[in-house]
């Protein structure tokens, strides 16, 4: 007898998930697999490689300290950016959550307004702000506060600033969503049991919002560490990150096998941090418990 | 081995894609074969359809604006064939795109001369031009054609313009006398630390390091000294630019006061009234650009387009617009006074006053030097 479909039929679940699964396979798993295969190809000359298998690319990556140094620098810049996003993003998120302003949606709208403008144009705009002929330097010079323009552009500070501009909304939204999930009666309960506002925040609100903060930190870290455009536009050559190294290897040296190797390395390293986050999410339950 | 009709047609198609056959011959043979045996290959309908557009990729900015205005628009008006345009900031970027595209997606490239020509040849991306379809090639400077022909006797590209990468400086900060006295050494002058720029390109960096160390750029003996000079410039530089637009932006905004720069882009800035001077120091890096037809392109239409672009009236208008001298031989074609005043213009037609990179020498070292330059540019 032919089996009939039921509401929670596993076949139905597979059917529903199939389009997404296929998309993931064809547009994520397969390209990564091709890249992984490319890491074993032999580079002949610029733009020419053969499918003769070799471990030379991996050997070069593992034995040349230049790559390790670049990776560490990228992780450092990513971590600094993520931490700054956390510090700077928590307060606006808390404010939006706590405000009694009846048009709260307007504040949320402000968060997504920057996304209406091209990311590249937003990044370019910093050149007109931080440059020697930029708004800040011109204003300070005209006010007589400085005699020489301040070197604010084409350095690591400018790169981190550009990434903060780009990533802050992600952090704020993550924290805000986490805060929104907190049962406000818990805070009232804490206050009624004698907690000050600061204590209630420290003991209740902050621990319960940590998963959102952690998610924001991970997202900002991964996006910052994988960034290419911001260091290219706002930094000097010295401020290049691992993404720029991959770009140059593929686009300038036309060395696809080595470029693929570096891409897979970045993918694995950032994947490692995502795995750590998964562990952290589990630990957040312990933090919640301690907070209680 | 006996070939099937299908196989024969596939081979015919390959020959056409490689540029061995003119489009007309290919279509005639294909149509005859198809009519005879009733064959219908998947690509036949596409091939038999009239070509309505040609794809062109160039350097964008003032250069491409001039080509569009004085060459493409009149060409479209005359032939009804549209020229679809794309731009790139760095030619390696477009080579990467071509590699990942199917033959015919990219067709004509405004390429950077023989140094890059080798890359297309090595990558199997070149076609074979039927020079009989480009009669205006007769006016092209022979010294510009020869280096290409040395690499491939059957050309895939036609030289179109040339220029130099000299020294551009802000005349409000650096006087023409100082620039003339110091020449290429301006890029290493500590007085301008933090206000120096440069093209983020291995060839340019190594070339200027060669001039600074007194070496012949086409026969470098001491590479350690070269890399030391490259590092010295890097440490003084505020930013290495990677496109003509970025160069013009940095110079016009005063972010940098001295840089190596493309002569045409500097001429464009001067036309706009910016206080920018330009000089070609002894041994300044000269380069040529060509119109390269890629494998898989509609050859007849591309050749017709290039022939139109090489028509003296068109080439002169483009040259004046983009501020780079054309590849036309001044001993054969009367050029304008404006062109004769352009930086790098060689009135003799011998090109002996200009120092070009030896393509074979540079191609031999390209991979290792590019890798080293990329590292140094990132602080190594």
Residue A286 confidence (pLDDT): 36
> What integer pLDDT is reported at residue A47 of this predicted model?
87
Mean pLDDT score of chain A: 90
- Across the interface, whether the CB atoms of A251 and B122 are under 8 A apart is answered no
Residue B2 is predicted with a pLDDT of 45
Q: Which residues of B touch A245 (CB under 8 A)?
A: 374, 378
CB contact, 8 Å: B122 with chain A? yes
For B229-246, the pLDDT digits (tens) are 999 999 999 889 988 888
Closest residue in A to B235 (Cα) is A238
The pair of three-digit structure tokens given for residue A68, joined into one six-digit string = 């390790």
B255 and A240 within 8 Å at the Cβ level: the answer is no
| pLDDT score for A288 | 42
Phi, psi at A236, each rounded to 5°: -90, 180
B93 interfaces chain A, CB cutoff of 8 Å:
yes
Q: What is the pLDDT of residues B171-180, one digit of tens each?
A: 999 999 999 9
Range B282-289 average pLDDT: 93
| A-B Cβ pairs (cutoff 8 Å, strict) | 72
- Which of B126, B192, B234, B255 to mutate: most A Cβ within 10 Å? B255
Q: Give residue B23's pLDDT.
A: 56
Q: What is the pLDDT of residue B164?
A: 92
- Please list every residue in chain A whose beta carbon sits closer than 8 Å to the beta carbon of residue B95: 47, 254
B53-162+287-354 and B164-286+359-377: identical CATH topology: yes
pLDDT for the residue numbered A3: 67
B237 contact A CB<8A: yes
Residue A248 has pLDDT above 70, yes or no: yes
> Which pLDDT band holds residue B97 (cuts at 50, 70, 90)?
very high
Contact of A241 with A231, CB cutoff 8 Å: yes
Mutation site for A-interface testing, chosen from B374, B376, B380 by largest number of A Cβ within 10 Å: B374
Lowest mean pLDDT among A9-13, A194-198, B31-35, B134-138: B31-35
Residue B37 has pLDDT above 80, yes or no: no
Radius of gyration of chain A (CA): 24
Per CATH, the number for A66-291 is 1.10.3720.10
Instruction: Give the nearest chain A residue to B88 (CA atoms).
Output: A251
Instruction: Quote the minimal CA–CA distance from B344 to chain A in Å.
Output: 27
Cα B369 to Cα A30, A164, B262, B286, B364, distances in angstroms: 34, 35, 22, 19, 10
> pLDDT at residue B379 above 60?
yes
Three-state secondary structure string covering chain B: CCCCHHHHHHHHHHHHHCCCCCHHHHHHHHHHHHHHHCCCCCCHHHHHCCCCEEEEEECCHHHHHHHHHHHHHHHHHHHCCEEEEEECCCHHHHHHHHHHCCCCCCCEEEECHHHHHHHHHHCCCECCCCHHHCHHHHHECHHHHHHHHHHCCCCCEEEEEEEEEEEEEECCCCCHHHHHHHHHHHHHCHHHCCCEEEECCHHHHHHHHHHHCCCECCECCCHHHHHHHHHHHHHHEEEEECCHHHHHHHHHCCCCCEEEEEHHHHHHHHHCCCCEEEECCCCCEEEEEEEEEECCCCHHHHHHHHHHHHCHHHHHHHHHHHCCCECECCCCCCCCHHHHCCCCCCCCCCCCCCEECCHHHHHHHHHHHHHHHHHHHCCC
Write the residue in B95, B119, B378 that is nearest to A237 by C-beta: B378
* pLDDT level of residue B3 (50, 70, 90 thresholds): very low
Identify the CATH class of B53-162+287-354: alpha beta
Contact B371/A236, CB-based, under 8 Å? Answer: no
Residue B96 distance to chain A (closest CA, Å): 6
CA nearest B230: which of B203, B262, B261?
A: B203
Per-residue pLDDT band for B260 (boundaries 50, 70, 90) equals: very high
Instruction: Identify the closest residue of chain A to B252 by CA–CA distance.
Output: A133
Residue with tokens 């099937």: B4
pLDDT in tens, A66-98: 999 999 999 999 999 999 999 999 999 999 999
Domain ranges of chain B: 5-48, 53-162+287-354, 164-286+359-377
What confidence category does residue A289 fall into, taking pLDDT thresholds of 50, 70 and 90? Answer: very low
Q: Which residues of B touch A121 (CB under 8 A)?
A: none
Chain A touched by B371 (CB under 8 Å)? yes
Q: In whole angstroms, how far apart are CA B367 and each of A51, A59, B76, B97, B202?
A: 19, 18, 40, 19, 10
ipTM above 0.90, yes or no: no
In angstroms, the separation between the Cα of residue B95 and the nearest Cα of chain A is 8
Asked if residue A266 lies in contact with residue A228, where contact means CB atoms within 8 angstroms, the answer is: no
A247, pLDDT greater than 80: yes
What is the predicted pLDDT for the residue at B76? 96
Q: How confident is the model at residue B4 (pLDDT cuts 50, 70, 90)?
A: low
Q: If you compute the radius of gyration of chain B from its CA atoms, what whole number of angstroms results? A: 22
Inter-chain contact B95–A47, Cβ cutoff 8 Å?
Answer: yes
- Every domain of chain A with CATH number 1.10.3720.10 lies at 66-291
Q: Which residues of A fall within a CB distance of 8 Å from B379? A: 237-238
Whether residue A285 has pLDDT greater than 50: no
Asked if the Cβ–Cβ distance from A66 to B375 is below 8 Å, we say yes
**Which residues of chain B have a CB within 8 Å of the CB of A131?**
253, 255
Counting residues of chain A whose pLDDT is more than 70, the rounded percentage is: 94
For residues A223 and A11, the model is more confident at A223
**Using 50, 70 and 90 to split pLDDT, how confident is the model at A291?**
very low
User: What's the mean pLDDT when you consider all of chain B?
Assistant: 88
Q: Give the residue on A whose Cα is nearest the Cα of B118.
A: A46
Give per-residue pLDDT as tens, A123-150: 989 999 998 889 999 999 999 999 989 9
- Residue A42, pLDDT > 60, answer yes
Residues whose CB falls within 8 Å of the CB of residue B361, separated by 6 or more in sequence, listed in order: B218, B219
**Which residues in chain B are contacts of A70 at CB distance < 8 A?**
378
Distance CA(A171)–CA(A143), nearest Å, equals 36
Say if residue A100's pLDDT is above 50.
yes
> Partners of A269 in the beta sheet?
none
**Does the beta carbon of B194 lie under 8 angstroms from any beta carbon of chain A?**
yes
**8 Å CB contact of B122 and A252:** no
Q: CB–CB of B238 and A133 under 8 A?
A: no
- Please state, in angstroms and rounded to a whole number, the distance separating the CA atoms of residues B78 and B80: 6
CA distances to B4, B42, B104, B247, B312 from B46, rounded to whole Å, are: 22, 8, 12, 42, 34
Looking at residue B312, its pLDDT comes to 97
What superfamily in CATH does domain B164-286+359-377 come from? Periplasmic binding protein-like II (3.40.190.10)
DSSP chain A: -PPPP-TT-HHHHHHHHHHHHHHHIIIIIHHHHHHHHHTTSEEEETTEEE----SHHHHHHHH-HHHHHHHHHHHHHHHHHHHHHHHHHHHHHHHHHH---TTHHHHHHHHHGGGGS-HHHHHHHHHHHHSTTSHHHHHHHHTTS-SS----SSSHHHHHHHHHHHHHHHHHHHHHHHHHTS-HHHHHHHHHTT--HHHHIIIIIHHHHHHHHHHHHHHHHHHHHT--HHHHHHS-GGG--HHHHHHIIIIIS--HHHHHHHHHHHHHHHHHHHHHHHHHHHHHHHHHHHH-
Mutation target to probe the B interface, by most B beta carbons within 10 A, among A45, A74, A125, A243 is A45
State residue B30's pLDDT score.
58
């Amino acid at each position: 007898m032919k089996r009939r479909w039921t509401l929670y039929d596993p076949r139905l679940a597979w059917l529903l998930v199939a389009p997404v699964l296929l998309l993931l396979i064809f547009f994520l798993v397969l390209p990564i697999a091709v890249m992984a295969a490319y890491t074993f190809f032999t580079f002949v000359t610029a733009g020419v490689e053969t499918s003769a298998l070799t471990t030379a690319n991996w050997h070069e990556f593992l034995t040349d300290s230049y790559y390790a140094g670049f990776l560490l620098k990228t992780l450092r810049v990513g971590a600094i950016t993520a931490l700054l996003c956390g510090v700077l993003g928590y307060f606006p998120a808390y404010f939006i959550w706590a405000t009694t302003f009846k048009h709260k949606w307007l504040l949320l709208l402000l968060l997504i307004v920057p996304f209406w403008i091209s990311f590249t144009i937003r990044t370019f705009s910093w050149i007109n702000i931080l440059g020697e002929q930029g708004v800040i330097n011109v204003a300070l010079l005209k006010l007589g506060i400085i005699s020489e323009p301040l070197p604010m552009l084409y350095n690591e500070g400018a790169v981190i600033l550009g990434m903060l501009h780009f990533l802050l909304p992600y952090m704020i939204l993550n924290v805000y969503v986490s805060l929104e999930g907190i049962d406000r009666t818990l805070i009232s309960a804490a206050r009624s049991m004698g907690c000050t506002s600061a204590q209630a925040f420290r003991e209740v609100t902050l621990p319960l919002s940590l998963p959102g903060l952690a998610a924001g930190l991970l997202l900002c870290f991964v996006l910052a560490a994988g960034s290419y455009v911001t260091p290219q536009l706002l930094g000097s050559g010295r401020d290049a990150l691992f993404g720029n190294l991959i770009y140059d290897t593929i686009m300038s040296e036309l060395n696809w096998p080595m470029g693929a190797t570096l891409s897979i390395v970045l993918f694995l390293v950032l994947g490692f941090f995502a795995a750590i986050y998964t562990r952290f999410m589990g630990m957040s339950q312990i933090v919640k418990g301690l907070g209680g | 081995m006996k070939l099937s009709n299908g196989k024969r047609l596939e081979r015919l198609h390959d020959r056409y894609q490689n540029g061995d056959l003119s489009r007309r011959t290919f279509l005639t043979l294909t149509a005859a074969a198809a009519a005879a045996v009733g064959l219908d290959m998947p690509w036949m309908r596409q091939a038999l359809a009239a070509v309505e557009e040609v794809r062109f990729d160039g350097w964008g900015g003032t250069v491409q604006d001039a080509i569009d205005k004085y060459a493409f628009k009149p060409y479209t008006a005359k032939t009804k064939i549209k020229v679809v345009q794309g731009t790139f900031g760095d030619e390696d970027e477009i080579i990467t795109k071509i590699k990942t595209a199917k033959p015919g997606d990219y067709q004509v490239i405004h390429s950077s001369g023989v140094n890059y020509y080798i890359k297309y040849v090595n990558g199997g991306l070149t076609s074979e031009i039927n020079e009989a379809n480009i009669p205006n090639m007769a006016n092209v400077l022979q010294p510009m054609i020869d280096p290409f022909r040395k690499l491939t006797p059957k050309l895939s590209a036609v030289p179109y313009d040339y220029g130099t990468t000299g020294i551009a400086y802000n005349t409000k900060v650096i006087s023409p006398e100082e620039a003339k006295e110091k020449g290429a050494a301006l890029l290493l002058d500590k007085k301008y630390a933090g206000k120096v720029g440069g093209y983020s390109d291995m060839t340019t960096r190594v070339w200027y390091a060669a001039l600074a160390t007194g070496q012949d750029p086409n026969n470098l003996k001491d590479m350690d000294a070269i890399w030391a000079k490259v590092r010295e410039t890097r440490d003084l530089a505020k930013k290495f630019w990677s496109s003509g637009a970025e160069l013009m932006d940095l110079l016009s905004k005063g972010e940098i006061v001295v840089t190596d720069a493309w002569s045409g882009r500097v001429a464009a800035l001067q036309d706009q009234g910016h206080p920018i001077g330009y000089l070609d120091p002894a041994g300044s890096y000269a380069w040529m650009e060509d119109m390269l037809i890629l494998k898989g392109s509609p050859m007849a239409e591309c050749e017709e387009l290039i022939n139109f672009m090489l028509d003296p009236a068109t080439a002169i208008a483009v040259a004046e617009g983009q501020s780079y001298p054309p590849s036309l031989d001044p001993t054969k074609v009367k050029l304008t006074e404006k062109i004769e005043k352009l930086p790098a213009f060689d009135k003799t037609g011998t090109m002996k006053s200009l120092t070009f990179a030896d393509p074979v020498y540079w191609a031999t070292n390209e991979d290792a030097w590019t890798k080293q330059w990329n590292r140094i540019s990132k602080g190594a």
